[in-house]
Amino acid sequence: MIVSLMNSTARPIFPFTAIVGQEEMKLALALNVIDPKIGGVIIMGDRGTGKSTTIRAITDILPEIEVVKDDPFNSHPVDSELMSEEIRLKIESGFTLDTVSKKVIMVDLPLGATEDRVCGTIDIEKALTDGVKAFEPGLLARANRGILYVDEVNLLDDHLVDVLLDSAASGWNTVEREGISIRHPARFVLVGSGNPEEGELRPQLLDRFGMHSEIKTVKDPELRVQIVEQRSDFDKDPLAALSRYETQQQEFRNKLVKAQEILPKVNISYDLRVKISKVCSELDVDGLRGDIVTNRASKAYAAYNGRTEVLSTDIKAIISMCLRHRLRKDPLEVIDSGEKVQKTFGKIFGESL
């Protein structure tokens, strides 16, 4: 039975399965939804290439999650890693908590956001006078178990980017003021986007993103016409456009749910893991993040295709997105970083490209 993906009271979102010409970006987002521990994705490309549209579209298609009712952190009713301290203590004390199902939230982080707005604030006066930890949750609290989207991430203050990446990596946000400390879950998929012409991210920050998607303006005239017509049809009658793609949307949603279910069972052989590390070593990738992310993403890609064993073709499909942003920049090199990764992959894995 197909559950309707349309809600007449909500603002219609362009259907994810209708987006064409940006397959790498769509795949990177899907893999991070399947396994948020991949570490998020940074999408760099030209203006007007559908970055924001695609991110909103995948959020809209995600299955609903079960949360503790009226909890500002979207606490999971069972998993202690995804619930606040207050909820955990209530459960340990034997309280029965009401739960509700809600759509996965996408939190937009504005460029001018302050650290207090992002992390949350502690009301020191209330804490001292009433003896309670008065905490005003920030954007990281709202984003727990959802997607945190930062447009123009390359223009965001480096300190704030560090805060976001630390929370995304640990899954927790800690706020400390005047000796008072509050800690809450902040497990989200971090998605950053930007235009390289407006400035690059520092290599140290770039390396912290799990995957990198490079998107360019579609050149094929027929495909451009198709994209324009799709957008025009949607703007004229959003509900009719959503209805046309409802079956495909539901199939894609089911594919994500199935992938999340089989991910813990996916295995990657020792031989393939060694080859991944050889590629990273050959490319002179600093640290071990490249190895870890490539292993995770290849397992997520195998699960995405309904398999429990990683093949070399799975690694080939995702390795450029996992490593291209970790390579040292050589201003004299004319080869594209993604091509360099694929060339090294072919050499190590013995495959002709």
65-68 and 147-151 beta bridge pairing: unpaired
- Please report where in the chains the tokens 């990281």 appear, as a residue: 140
Average pLDDT over the chain reads 85
What type of residue is 111?
L
Burial 25-54 (b: 16+ CB within 10 A, else e): bbbbbbbbbbbbbbbbbbbbbeeebbbeeb
Instruction: Tell me the pLDDT tens digit for each residue of 5-60.
Output: 444 446 788 899 888 878 899 999 999 999 988 989 999 887 777 788 888 899 88
What type of residue is 241?
A
pLDDT at 131: 55
Is residue 334 scored above 50 in pLDDT?
no
Give the tokens for residue 186.
Answer: 């902040």
Indicate the angle between helix axes 312-323 and 337-349, nearest 10 degrees: 150
The dihedral over CA atoms of 286, 323, 257, 43, expressed in degrees to the nearest 10, equals: 110
Lowest pLDDT segment from 50-64, 264-278, 298-312: 50-64
**Fold of the 264-347 domain:** Helicase, Ruva Protein; domain 3 (1.10.8)
Active site residue 289: yes
Predicted TM-score of the model (pTM):
0.86
Torsional sign, CA 91, 93, 96, 98: negative
Is residue 84 scored above 90 in pLDDT?
no
Alpha-carbon span 298 to 31, nearest angstrom? 9
pLDDT at 125: 65
Summarize the confidence of residues 129-154 as an average pLDDT.
82
CATH 3.40.50.300 intervals, the chain: 16-62+103-215
Give the tokens for residue 128.
Answer: 């001292």
Which among 145, 187, 289, 324 is annotated as catalytic?
289
Is residue 246 scored above 60 in pLDDT?
yes
Q: Answer whether 83's CB lies under 8 Å from 75's CB.
A: yes
- Please report where in the chains the tokens 């989200």 appear, as a residue: 188
Identity of the highest mean pLDDT range in 45-54, 72-81, 164-173, 289-298: 289-298
Architecture of domain 16-62+103-215: 3-Layer(aba) Sandwich (3.40)
Summarize the confidence of residues 325-335 as an average pLDDT.
67
pLDDT at 330: 65
Alpha-carbon span 221 to 243, nearest angstrom? 27
CATH 1.10.8.80 intervals, the chain: 264-347
Classify residue 134 by burial, with Cβ atoms within 10 Å: 0-12, 13-18, 19+: middle
Neighbours of 273 (CB within 10 A): 16
Instruction: Tell me the pLDDT tens digit for each residue of 288-308.
Output: 999 999 999 999 999 999 999
pLDDT at 87: 86
Is residue 346 scored above 70 in pLDDT?
yes
